[in-house]
Amino acid sequence: MEIFHNLVLGFGVAITPIHLLYALIGCLLGTLIGVLPGIGPVATIAMLLPITFNLSPVAALIMLAGIYYGAQYGGSTTAILVNIPGESSSVVTCLDGYQMARQGRAGPALAVAALGSFFAGCVSTLIIALAAPPLAEVALKFGPSEYFSLMVFGLVAATVLAHGSLIKAIAMVVFGLLLGIVGTDVNSGVLRFTFNIPELSDGIGFVIVAMGMFGTAEIVANLELKDKREIFTKDVKNLWPTKEDFKRAWAPVLRGTALGSFLGILPGGGALLASFGAYTLEKKVSRHPEQFGKGAIEGVAGPESANNAGAQTSFIPMLTLGIPSNAVMALMIGALMIQGIAPGPQVMNEKPQLFWGLIASMWVGNLMLVVLNLPLIGMWVKLLTVPYRYLYPSILVFMAGDPQEARRGVRRRSLERRDRLHFEQVLLAHQAVDDKQRVGRIGAVREHAREFAQPELHEFRDVLRVHQIGGELHYVSPAGAGRFQRFLDLGEHAGALRVEIVAGCQHAGNEKEFTGLDSGHVRVLAERLAEGVDVVDADVCHGSSSP
Amino acid sequence: MKIKSPKDFWSGLMFLGFGLFFAIWAVIHYQMGTAVRMGPAYFPTLLGGLLAFLGLVILLESFVAEGPPVPKFAFRPLILISVGCVLYGYLMKPLGLFVATLALVVVSALGGHEFKWKEVFILYVILMLFSWLVFVRGLTLPFPLCPDFIANCPIR
């Protein structure tokens, strides 16, 4: 049994003390932000991204995943007790959960929500373990056209599944694509829609858009709401549901789990869609739909199981295809990139500890949440009495301080890995550069890499890239620049820089020739250069442009 | 012609505006290229045109179908929170972390229902210490601490 072996491996990773600790931290944090309205998993994970920089990849993912599904648990607590959905995915739980609380049955509602979530968590963990390996195997064969089709499918699915106006959903997708265009054009190197703001040349990061859309927008919305809170904590003594409750709840839990697991996998899906879908489903199949909205336990059990199942199965496309199905997963990909891991089907084979450890930790985390949450409910609810006017400036400070740095962290690491081949043609074309000047600038860039504006870093990246080509040229000629040798670890690869510098000289001022070039031509350029400096056996087959 | 669905009307107008802006800006400033060799203007023009078209459809629909009105705008928090974030960004370099955080906390706190100087000040001190410890000390982010014009900053 392959899967058994894998799960054992996974639990071996997940049950080490340090990973248990991070799972616990993640779950507690997740519950906390789930309880607090106005701060969701997207903002929290975005805030914590830079911190994960210092953790091991497994620990980082375990903690961030804990935040995500912990938030589903926490969100339901406030939905039931206070009629405030702490998380958007528990909006529907308010309908019946709060009514149950008003009837003095807050305890059973909370217990059913927690147990249903736990059951859903177990099942969806199993689903991930079963479904991910074959999916990843298929995904390994994917080429660019398959990935493109998947993206298009994702965008279409996102519009179809969105509730509300279809045409507005499409318009928002197009608008999102337009935001993605801001920055350096990968093909030509032209800066588009940057308005001479250097920070924009690297594009608008996903995290930043998410923070603006979900983070600050939610703060503004919350500030307009006047607080009216009625808290039912005193009724939470009698936790255990009655036999009748169990009888009514088990089928919705099963249905919710199935529906949630399915919707979670779809792009644009995840917890939110799952809970809404499950509520509608329960209302449709119920023999007494008139009870819904008046404290029907099915209306709590179904959506709560569904949102947890959806939260977990949405990991499947991320882990196997490297494609995020929702905002949280996009951030997870960011977390992996910080760690120097390119998400995709190869992760499972190359890093089995990471993959299976994460899956096992989900089960462990769910168990923790059930055990921890029910006794701690009183504490969570007390947190709700913290006035929002203390909370939101703090949230803003976290958000304002972090994301761009998180992105720089990502960039710094990815410099070494999977940067795109892209030549600053225009820059070279407009400036007649001489060797010394250029070398000096490069040295300075490295020295102050952090403070420098992005275009310089781009250039730096190109140099590194060309340095690879140069590496293949076998020391074209030593570039006698003492200065940069100190700052660049290019020492013996100095020839590479030389290649770039010479390229710059040859073509400077000849804009026409430059705009005619694309990334594939850099190879030719290197070839020509190799000729120029008498390198006979230049092996410049390079990257995807190799024949 | 009567607007039957104000919410759709304004959102249509917004999409139309954004779409036209992207498309026109791209056409004016960048090279178009051809479908086979797309220039930098190609994709933005296409997408911008599509967005403008969708906006127009939404806009026209708002004259036909009944729809919800536009709810009251929360101008005060909207403006103050945005201004707070922008100030933070622009003040960071010339004036340093502590001043930028002060601006963010005070301006955004003004956007709330209640504003008490004492509370806001205590909150600021806590957040300032947090930023310093976590961002600068913990994560070693290159935030300047002191204003530029103070030559020999005592805090480092």
Residue A527: predicted pLDDT? 47
Per-residue pLDDT for A472 more than 60?
Answer: no
Tell me, what DSSP letter sits at residue A241?
A: P
Among B22, B25, B111, beta carbon nearest to A223: B111
Query: Mind telling me how many Å the CA of B1 is from chain A's nearest CA?
Result: 22
Q: Which of A18, A27, A15 is nearest to A371 (CA)?
A: A27
- B38 beta partners: B33
Distance from the A395 Cα atom to the nearest Cα atom in chain B, whole angstroms: 10
Statement: residue B57 has pLDDT above 50: yes
CA distance B137 to B152: 20
Hey, are the CB atoms on B51 and A175 less than 8 Å from each other?
yes
User: Could you tell me the CA-to-CA distances from A522 to A410, A466, A470, A475, A518 in Å, in that order?
Assistant: 26, 8, 11, 17, 7
C-beta atoms of B135 and A402 within 8 A: yes
A-B C-beta contacts closer than 8 Å:
123
Give how far B66 is from chain A: nearest CA, Å.
13
Arithmetic mean of pLDDT, A406-416: 41
**Which tokens in the block code for residue A496?**
């590479």
Average pLDDT over residues B94-102: 87
Nearest residue, CB atoms, A405 vs list B22, B43, B141: B141
A487 pLDDT tier (thresholds 50, 70, 90) = very low
Place of tokens 């190109």: A462
% of chain A residues with pLDDT over 70: 63
Say if residue A468's pLDDT is above 80.
no
pLDDT at res. A495: 35
Looking at per-residue confidence, does A297 or B142 come out higher?
A297
Residues of A in contact with B55 (CB under 8 A): 171
**Which pLDDT score, from 0 to 100, does residue A504 have?**
41
Q: Which long-range contacts (CB under 8 A, 24 or more apart) does A176-184 make?
A: A176/A209, A177/B47, A178/B18, A178/B19, A178/B22, A178/B44, A178/B47, A178/B48, A178/B51, A179/A204, A179/A209, A180/A204, A181/B22, A181/B43, A181/B44, A181/B47, A184/A422, A184/A458
Q: What is the pLDDT of residues A241-264, one digit of tens each?
A: 777 778 888 888 999 999 888 888
Q: Are A400 and B11 within 8 A, CB to CB?
A: no
* The residue type at A430: H
pLDDT (tens digit per residue) in A500-530: 433 443 444 444 444 444 434 444 444 444 4
Kindly tell me if the per-residue pLDDT of A413 is higher than 80: no
More confident residue, A350 or A416: A350
Mean pLDDT comparison of A133-137, A432-436, A490-494, A522-526, highest-scoring range: A133-137
Q: What global pTM score does this model have?
A: 0.65
Mean of pLDDT over chain A: 68
CB contact under 8 A, A53 and B139: yes
Residue A499 pLDDT greater than 80, yes or no: no
**Cβ separation B88–A400 shorter than 8 A:** yes
Give dist(CA A267, CA A150) in Å, integer: 9
- Is the pLDDT at A436 greater than 50? The verdict is no
Domains of chain A, by residue range, sit at: 2-173+202-411, 420-545
Cβ contacts of B112 on chain A, cutoff 8 Å: 223, 388-389, 392
Q: Buried b vs exposed e over B77-116: b needs ≥16 C-beta within 10 Å?
A: bbebbbbbbebbeebbeebbbbbbbbbbbbbbbbbbeeee
The arithmetic mean of pLDDT across residues A268-280, rounded, is: 77
Please enumerate, as own/partner, the contacts of A125-128 that have beta carbons within 8 Å and a separation of 24 or more: A125/A312, A125/A359, A125/A360, A125/A362, A125/A363, A125/A366, A127/A261, A127/A313, A127/A316, A128/A312, A128/A313, A128/A315, A128/A316, A128/A319, A128/A359, A128/A362
Q: Return the minimum-mean-pLDDT range out of A370-374, A409-413, B145-149.
A: A409-413
> Residue B17: pLDDT above 90?
yes
Closest Cα in chain A to B19: A175
CB-CB neighbours of B146 under 10 Å: 17
Choose the weakest-confidence range: A33-37, A417-421, A470-474, B95-99. A417-421
Return the structure tokens found at A465.
Answer: 């890239």
**Across the interface, which of A181, A388, A401 has its CB nearest the CB of B43?**
A181
How high does pLDDT run on average in chain B? 85
* Residue among B39, B23, B51, B55 nearest A185 (CA): B39
Tell me the pLDDT tens digit for each residue of A89-111.
777 888 888 888 888 788 888 88
Q: What's the confidence (pLDDT) of residue B50? A: 95
Min Cα distance B103 → chain A (Å) is 11
CA A465 to chain centre: 27
Position with higher pLDDT, A56 vs A434: A56
Please tell me the predicted confidence (pLDDT) of residue A36: 74
* HSE of B125, CA atoms in CB hemisphere, 13 A: 5
Cα A109 from Cα A273, distance rounded (Å) = 21
User: Which of B74, B84, B88 lies closest to A223 in CB terms?
Assistant: B74
Cβ burial, residue A506 (10 Å; 0-12/13-18/19+): middle
pLDDT per residue as tens digits for the range A2-22: 778 888 888 888 888 999 999
pLDDT tens, position by position, A135-184:
878 877 777 787 778 778 777 777 776 667 888 889 988 998 999 888 87
- Residues from chain B contacting residue A181 (CB–CB below 8 Å): 22, 43-44, 47
pLDDT band at B83 (very low <50, low <70, confident <90, very high): very high
Q: For residues B13-36, give the mean pLDDT.
A: 91
Q: Under an 8 A CB cutoff, do A188 and B40 touch?
A: yes
ipTM: 0.89
The chain A residue lying nearest B25, using CA atoms, is A193
Cβ contacts of residue A371 below 8 Å, gap of 6+? none
CA distance linking residue A486 with residue A238, whole number of Å: 70
pLDDT given at position A402: 55
Residue whose entry in the numeric block shows the structure tokens 């789930």: A34
Q: Which residue of B has its CA nearest to A402?
A: B135
At residue A539 the predicted structure's pLDDT band, cuts being 50, 70 and 90, is very low
- CB–CB of A303/A276 below 8 Å? yes
